[in-house]
Each structure stands twice: as C-alpha cells, then as structure tokens.
Amino acid sequence: MPSPITKNTLTSHRFRKNKLSRFMMGALLVAIAAGCSNNAADATSNTAVVNSAQAKTNTTSVDSDAAVVKALQGNLNTSGIEENIVSAVPTDMEGIYWVTAEGLPSFFTDKSGKHIIQGQIIAVGEGAPVDISAALVANTAQDALKAVDKKEMVIYPAKGETKSVVYAFTDADCGYCRKLHEEMDDINARGIEVRYLAWPRSQESVPKMEAVWCSQDRHAAMNQAKMGANVQAPSCVNPVQAHMALGAKLGVRGTPAIFTESGQQIGGYLPAEQLAQTAIDAS
C-alpha cells in the first residue's frame, strides 16, 4: 500500500508532468494550504449575484466539436503539453467551448483552441445575471460523483423518506466538518442522505482518514474521528487518494465541500435546516 502523502504532494505528483497542469492547479494549491476555510458565508456568497438555475447550457444533449478538440490538442502538443482532451462542447457564449480533459479540472477554450479560460461566464442584459458556466460545472460534477461506487463512501442515510442526497468531501481534523457531523441526526431526520468522501487536508490527516475507511465499522470510526479520537485500523486498499484526486478535479478548495446529487456545489458548512432546504430545492 502506498505510504501516506499530503494532498499537496498528491496533487503536485499527479500534475507535475506539464506546465498547463501547474498553471491550472496553482491557485488551488494556495487555497488548499489555507485549510478548513469553507463556512456558511462562503456557501451562499454567489447566490445573490447570479442565477445559475436559469442557465440554458446542457452538455448532455450537445455533441462535442471534433474540430475544436483537434485544434486544442494540437496547440497543447505544440506547447509541449501532454494532456488528453476528451470533449469540447459549445456554450451559450458564441465561440466559447467547455472542455473536459483527463486529469484536469474542466475549462473553457475558444474555437481556435488557442486559449485556456478558467472561471465563471456570466450573461447579462436579459434580466437577472445568469451564470452560464454553473450548469456545465454541475454536469461535470454530477457525472463524476455518480460514478463513485457507494461502497467507497461512508453513507448516513435519511430517516424515513429520502428527499435528497448530498455528497460531502470531509476531513477528520476540520472544525466545520465536525460541526456538520454533530448535526448529522438532524440532517438525516430532514430526509437528507449524506455521502462522505475523504478529503484530508494535511499529512497528519491522511492516515486518520485511511483508518476510517479501513475500519470494519466505518460509521463508528467516522463518529470517533469527528470527536478527535485517534482511530486505528489495519492498512487496506482504500479510496482515500482517489477521493482526493476527484476533489481536485471538481475544484474542491476546503472542507466540508458539499455537492447536491445534481452536481451543484452548495458550499461548506450549512446549518441542518438550511442544508436540507438547499438540497431539496436543488433536487
């Protein structure tokens, strides 16, 4: 079994092979170093500015443009960058495409494939501002999270009717993660199923999270870890590093990072009532 490594080391190792990866991950690594920075304010800061629900872009019904993929791949190769471009689909912004690549967060490019664009694209001039990139990001996250085997997650099921499901990248040593976990019974009682994925933020946290996933009773181990206990378990094949890589791909910058089943990231810690209502509204 590979020796425990930090998230920064894992990310650097995975993306060391070319300049594009270093450029794209630079800001993410700075944010990771800040640690458990997500909070209720972070979770809701954009909702008053843009309306992502109005975004019309739908990558599931639009074919990838082979010419853009070929152009972008060629330009990357010319610059000595070895990345495999999977698809490039048109967005609501004329001449701008949403790109999926292996081992990288998704990004935008132009029709010539000469420019790499990261961040939001917000449409204005037709009523309230609309974040057209939000639907694209959500579709990417939805597909990626749906592909994770439930056996690889620590799941706290809803009590009674399941009204919605959320995914939470979590860390044993994060204060906001512990606060969220303290409210798990309340969250579950409101009909919300919580699916935990591992996102250790430091070298010290990696073996703790691996021990949780290697425990016979993951729920008991998770509960203990969230209370600060030093969980011990025999080493095993576990998905912790795969979860870390998935989080990096989805742009996770802190913990807890909570996603709805539709792929929308609704932020960090939210009180049980607000989390439940937000998850149900996004369903």
Name the region of 263 (left: φ>0; alpha: ψ -120 to 50; beta: rest): left
Q: Of residues 178, 190, 195, 201, which has the active-site annotation?
A: 201
Tokens 């009204």 found at: 163
Among the listed residues 36, 177, 190, 253, the single catalytic one is 177
- CA distances for 48 relative to 52, 53, 124, 256, angstroms: 10, 12, 14, 22
Grouping H, G, I as helix, E, B as strand and the rest as coil, residue 98 is strand
Q: For the stretch 58-89, what's the b/e string if a residue is b when 16 or more beta carbons lie within 10 angstroms of its beta carbon?
A: ebeeeebbeebbebbbebbeeeebebebebbb
Active site residue 201: yes
Name the catalytic one among 131, 174, 190, 214.
174
Task: Indicate which residue of 131, 171, 190, 195 is catalytic.
Answer: 171
Partnered with residue 196 across adjacent β-strands are: 154, 168
> CA-CA distance, 51 to 273, in Å (whole number)?
22
Contact 269, 43 (CB under 8 A): yes
Report DSSP letters for 244-270, one per residue. Answer: HHHHHHTT--SSSEEEETTS-EEES--
Tokens 């439940």 belong to: 276
Q: Report residue 219: phi and psi, to 5°.
A: -65, -45
Q: Sign of the CA dihedral 96, 102, 15, 27?
A: positive
Terminal CA-to-CA distance of the chain, rounded, Å?
38
Task: Give the whole-angstrom CA distance, residue 188 versus residue 135.
Answer: 27
Active site residue 177: yes
Q: Which residues are known to be catalytic?
A: 171, 174, 177, 201
